[in-house]
Chain A
Amino acid sequence: MGNYLNLNEYQLSALSEIGNIGAGNAAAALADFMADTIMMSVPELQIIDVNSMANILGGPENEMVGILVTMNCDVRGMLLFLLEKEFVCLLLNVLLSKDINEFADISEMDLSVIMEIGNVLAGSYVSAIATMTDLDIRLSTPQVAIDMVGAILNYPAAYFGVMDDNLLFIEENFLSEENTIRSHLLIMPEPDSLSLIFESLGMSL
């Protein structure tokens, strides 16, 4: 298969459901870290071009923390956590009892904590998909970048740009208690892996 836009309603809702279950797992994992200060919203499935994507995320120059985890084996693709500054500071302040307000105050040590959170969230999310589909999914160790969100998004855009002009992703929003801090988890499977997921769920193209 070549194009994400060929998906039918039925398949789209199946994907949302996968997102739902993955999000439930990830939220439970996050709750272990954070007590109950963070919630996750209902996942939203999006198929859009990369220019529009940067605009949804606060504009291309918006400074964010990006944590990248790649999926290998049966399912290939990537997970990208995009965290707003406030969210990262909140995480660190709760976990490490710190008082950080700026990216400049984040140390190497803090970054490794952020990466570990990414690792745990990605693991819990993906294990939900693996269990549902009975597929083998391996995750890479996470990598982190703090920069313009548009520049961070170049990575998946180039990776998937070979196959499609659009990106398909399941977006999960993390919300803090006050509902003010939003951050995002983008799950982006390769088109072929997507077919495989559907096949495993008995709804092949």
Chain B
Amino acid sequence: MRNLVVGISDQKVAGPPDTLTTYALGSCVCICLYDRLRRIGGLAHILLPEAFGDVSGKNVYKFADTAIEELVRGMIKQGCAHLHLTAKIAGGANMFVSEGKSIGDRNIETVTQELQRLKIRIVAQDIGANYGRTAVFNTQDGSLTVKTLGRGNKVI
């Protein structure tokens, strides 16, 4: 079994028995897509909501409005069916108070909109608040374990 680590502005696709881990989400959001039939999982870790216009030369994995579509494409390439994909999301915290709408809230908003646009249902989420989260995505059963410091762990 391999544990594949996904960094910030990065994404990976894997199948059983591998797990996909992304560490210390603050305002970042991780999107975990799963095809239950083929048992393939994909995890994207986005930093910002929107790429704003011209994406040439930019890292498409960095933005919610470009990364999720790219992840879906990658999973279909691995044999997934778009229709079978469901999503679990985690992160989008506000580590510090900011003026106006926080980056965590904007990330969650755009991720939710983007999943809606792509017609992928969010089946579970652990988002918001003001603490960091590490997410471990199990491609065996599609479960997502969210770990925190001092606030316990949960499986969603």
Contacts and interface: CB of A to CB of B under 8 A. Distances in A.
A66 interface: yes
A151 B131 contact: yes
A155 B130 CA distance: 12
A205 to B, nearest CB: 20
Contact of A154 (B10, B27, B59, B62): B27
Contacts of A157: 8, 28, 47
Given A149-B24, A157-B8, A63 B149 contact: yes
Given A143-B97, A165-B59, A60 B24 contact: yes
A66 B96 CA distance: 10
Nearest to A140: B99
A162 interface: yes
B3 to A, nearest CB: 14
Interface string B20-60: 00011111100000000000000000011000000000010
A143 B134 CA distance: 23
5 contacts: A60-B134, A147-B132, A147-B149, A151-B26, A151-B133
Given A51-B7, A157-B47, A145 B27 contact: no
Given A61-B24, A148-B23, A148-B149, A155 B7 contact: no
How many A residues touch the partner, as a band? 20 to 34
Given A151-B95, A165-B59, A158 B132 contact: no
B103 A158 contact: yes
B47 A104 contact: no
Interface in A88-116: 103-104
B93 interface: yes
**The 8 A-B residue pairs with the shortest CB-CB distance in the complex, in nearest-first order:** A150-B24, A151-B132, A154-B26, A151-B26, A60-B24, A148-B132, A60-B23, A148-B24
Contacts of A59: 23
B138 to A, nearest CB: 19
Contacts of A148: 23-24, 26, 132, 134, 149
B57 to A, nearest CB: 10
A145 B149 CA distance: 12
Interface string A161-174: 11001000000000
A202 B12 CA distance: 47
B47 A150 contact: no
A153 interface: yes
Contacts of A75: none
Nearest to A151: B132
A50 interface: yes
A23 interface: no
A68 interface: yes
Interface in B113-151: 130-134, 149-150
Interface in A118-167: 143, 145, 147-155, 157-159, 161-162, 165
